Amino acid sequence: MPVYSLTDLNLHIRQTLEDEYPEAVWIRAEIASFSINSFSGHCYLELTDGHGQAAKARAMVWKKTFDVLHSKFRIQTGSVLEKGLNVQLLVKVEFNIQYGLSLVVWDIDASYTVGELALKKVEVLNRLRTEGRLDLNKQLSMGIPAQRIAIISSPTAAGLGDFETHLLENEFGFLFQTELFSAQMQGKEAIPSIQKAFQDILFNKDDFDAVALIRGGGSSLDLQIFDEYDIAKSISECPLPVFTGIGHERDESVCDQVAFQAFKTPTAVAGFLVDLLAEADGVVVEISQAITQSLVWSIRKEEQIFEGLGYQIEKSFQKIIQIHQNETDRVLQQLLLKFQTTIFKSAQELEKCESRIQFANPISILKLGYARVFQAGQRMKAKSDINEKMPLVIQWHDGNIQTNPTLKP
């Protein structure tokens, strides 16, 4: 059995690989690491099959090639090459006797990366639809106005500052209460970070009216986490309406389609919340005006009713007074008539009494031919009362005579 030096073995391996792979080949892999040499400008990659297997390979892109490919990839995808992307690369297999196997990248098929993301997005949407989650958040009712807002965002995101400025410094002077639930908005830690933020909000759901999930822009690949099932699931399970303002101008993300309502930017979310409150304020003003007008009409109506009642009461009192006045006049007339009758009768009785008195008057009796006998100034009522020794005075109606009595048995 021959014995080879390491150099001879590596040369043999290189020759074998060159014979086996004389031309460049297309491969599909995930970028496990990505770096650019600051001095040479060459790009160095570590590739893996991305399926949990151990297959790895080093790759490099010459500076001039990298400048072209990176520009091409950015134009076609709106993003940049970075760690975690699944890519389809045209590579030339090379084996260096000192550094071992490496792949030299000649070209990249950006459509594969975009197509894979699009296919994954469709799969996620179909799964959500099958599970009945796609419209769960849209079916929630939102308290109006929504003034207590839970924010899920990176604390350093530019979109967060725009959102809070537009919301808290609104032209109407409306008051909003906000609380930030900090989360990473890109990278491998973004998904569990956003999930945790939703869980924290769930524990304090009674303190808020709505949730704003905001980011503030980025490339399509930067925003691919918002097409992930786990984040969409958290939105669908949220008991509060979720508004997304992720900051993209392209197609809606899965999160946008699951959310209560989606907006292109964080500022647009804030504007909507302000407009919603302004609309509610307008409704309150209209209701207040309507109530005021209704009260004015009701008061006026009651005043008219009161005036009518007052007029009726006055007429009733006048009628009652007139009735009582008539009754009083009638009673007075009756009393007057009765009084007159009584006076007349009394006058008649008085006349009778006067006639009797006149009849009983001694003068009147004397005129009838009677006379009165006096002796010593005393009227004599009987013969036995007369003293024969004393003179008598006899009184007639037309005068007196004096005589000496001569009494005979």
Q: What is the pLDDT of residue 193?
A: 94
- Shared domain for 166 and 226, answered yes or no, is yes
- Residue 26 phi/psi, 5-degree rounding, is -90, 135
203 in any annotated domain: yes
Give a yes or no: residue 179 inside a domain: yes
- The SS3 assignment for 247 reads coil
**Residues paired with residue 263 on neighbouring β-strands, in sequence order:** 245
The per-residue pLDDT for 62 is: 92
Residue 208 lies in a domain: yes
Q: If we measure between CA atoms, which residue out of 144, 84, 129, 86 comes closest to residue 110?
A: 86
In this predicted structure, what is the pLDDT of residue 86?
82
Q: How far is CA 94 from CA 27, 97, 110, in A?
A: 14, 10, 23
Q: What is the CATH number of the domain that holds 240?
A: 3.40.50.10550
Q: Are residues 14 and 85 in the same domain?
A: yes
Name beta bridge partners: 395.
372, 400
Residues 183 and 104 placed together within one structural domain of the fold: no
248 and 153 fall within a common domain = yes
Distance of CA 261 to the CA centre of its chain: 20
Same domain, 159 and 100: no
Place of tokens 């390979």: 57
Same structural domain, 268 and 182 = yes
Q: Let me know if residue 333 belongs to a domain.
A: no
Query: pLDDT (tens digit, 0 to 9) for every residue of the chain, 409 residues total?
Result: 778 788 877 787 878 877 788 888 888 888 888 899 989 999 999 888 865 556 888 899 999 999 998 888 877 776 678 887 888 888 888 888 777 888 899 998 877 776 677 777 778 889 999 999 999 999 998 877 789 999 999 998 878 888 999 999 888 888 999 999 999 888 778 899 999 999 999 999 999 999 999 987 666 666 778 888 999 999 999 999 999 998 765 567 899 999 999 998 899 999 999 998 888 877 777 777 778 888 888 888 888 887 877 778 878 778 888 887 888 888 788 878 887 788 888 778 877 877 777 666 677 677 776 777 788 878 777 877 787 778 888 877 777 887 777 655 4
Domain limit, last residue, from 60, 87, 108: 108
Residue 251: per-residue pLDDT: 60
Residue 223 backbone class (left: φ over 0; alpha: ψ -120 to 50; beta: rest): alpha
Asked if 163 and 235 sit in the same domain, the reply is yes
Helix (H) / strand (E) containing 150 = strand 148-153
Q: How many domains does the chain have?
A: 3
CB-based contact 194:255 (threshold 8 Å): no
Residue 81, in any domain of the structure: yes
Residues 148, 228 share a domain: yes
| One domain, residues 94 and 151 | no
Distance CA 73, CA 85 (A): 12
For residue 111, what pLDDT is reported? 74
> Would you state the pLDDT for residue 311?
79
- Predicted local distance difference test score (pLDDT) of residue 408: 53
- Would the pTM count as exceeding 0.85? no
DSSP string of 331-366, one letter each residue: HHHHHHHHHHHHHHHHHHHHHHHHHHHHHHSHHHHH
Q: Tell me, what CATH number does 81's domain have?
A: 2.40.50.140
Count other Cβ atoms within 10 Å, centred on residue 212: 29
Residue where a domain stops, chosen among 252, 278, 304: 278
Listed residue (183, 194, 256) closest to 231, CA to CA: 194
Q: Which of 86, 108, 130 is the last residue of a domain?
A: 108
Looking at residue 218, its pLDDT comes to 63
Q: Is residue 346 part of a domain?
A: no
pLDDT value at residue 177: 92
* Whether residue 91 is found in the same domain as residue 150: no
Same domain (yes/no): 20, 89: yes
**How far apart are alpha carbons 42 and 124 in whole angstroms?**
37
Domain that holds residue 381: 364-403
Full DSSP string of 156-172: T-HHHHHHHHHHHT-TT
- Sign of the C-alpha dihedral computed for residues 71, 72, 73 and 75 taken in this order: positive
User: In sequence order, which ranges of 149-243 are alpha helices (DSSP H)?
Assistant: 158-168, 190-203, 229-237
Same domain, 19 and 67: yes
- Is residue 271 included in any domain, yes or no? yes
**Amino acid identity for residue 333 in this structure:** Q
* Residues 212 and 220 sit within 8 Å (Cβ to Cβ): no
| Residue from 166, 163, 335, 315 nearest 246 by CA | 163
Tally of CB atoms within 10 A around 190: 20
Q: What are phi and psi of 109, to 5 degrees?
A: -100, 95
| Helix axes of 229-237 and 190-203: crossing angle, nearest 10 degrees | 10
Q: Which residue type, as a one-letter code, is found at position 185?
A: M
* Residue in 224, 247, 228, 257 with CA at minimum distance from that of residue 77: 224
End-to-end CA distance of the chain: 226
Is 408 part of any domain?
Answer: no
* β-sheet bridge partners, residue 104: 60, 92
